[in-house]
A = this chain, B = another copy of it.
């Protein structure tokens, strides 16, 4: 039976076998929520880049660039990292270069795996159905915060793991997966209250960027499954 594992941060990802696994990258506040939104609204492809230098080079070549560090849009970029920027009018059919504090690093680290897909509450049921169909070992990689554990990605990992385990089609012997599920169980009965513990929620609030919180925890807004093909994210069709 295929197994589920959870890496609570990109730094922990190094300790897991990747061969033959599907890696689900999670950065709820905000990268994977934003990426899901972009594909839902018709973006053609997203090029995730780790460094600011790379993002600037793409900008000079004429690409549309989203670049953010510590929550804030970088001056040279076309957009910051709120999902609300990326309406169909803005992204339909476009190629967008994307660089954020944690999420894009996590995505590019996944390359050794068989497959890398992008998960968020927005597409959680689509991801769940896809993983049922693929029936592979799964490694959920939380983007975390600057290498550290973060709660919002952990509870998503728990929500997804619990759905998969309850199907009876997956199993786990991974302590992080058990912990993620326990945290989701604690969080889900009062999610807005629980989010008061989340440091990233307070960082965004300080920057006046916390209008996205409710949206980032809304399930099943979209059926898209963004997937890494080479160096680019595209929508699975």
Contacts and interface: CB of A to CB of B under 8 A. Distances in A.
A232 interface: no
A72 interface: no
Nearest to A174: B199
Number of copies: 2
A195 B182 CA distance: 13
Interface residues of A, number: 30
A175 interface: yes
A129 interface: no
B149 A8 contact: yes
B202 A176 contact: no
Given A154-B179, A179-B154, A186-B182, A15 B146 contact: yes
A151 B173 contact: no
A88 interface: no
Given A9-B12, A185-B186, A148 B173 contact: no
A191 interface: no
Contact of A15 (B14, B15, B148, B186): B148
Contacts of A154: 175, 179
Contacts of A200: 175
A145 to B, nearest CB: 7
A28 to B, nearest CB: 12
Interface in A7-29: 8-9, 11-12, 14-16
A14 B179 contact: no
Interface string A129-158: 000000000000000011111110010000
Nearest to A147: B15
B11 A15 contact: yes
A198 B175 CA distance: 6
Given A11-B11, A151-B179, 6 more contacts: A9-B12, A15-B147, A148-B175, A175-B198, A182-B182, A186-B186
Counting from the closest, the 9 A-B pairs by CB-CB distance are A15-B147, A178-B197, A151-B175, A149-B176, A182-B186, A150-B175, A15-B148, A175-B199, A11-B11
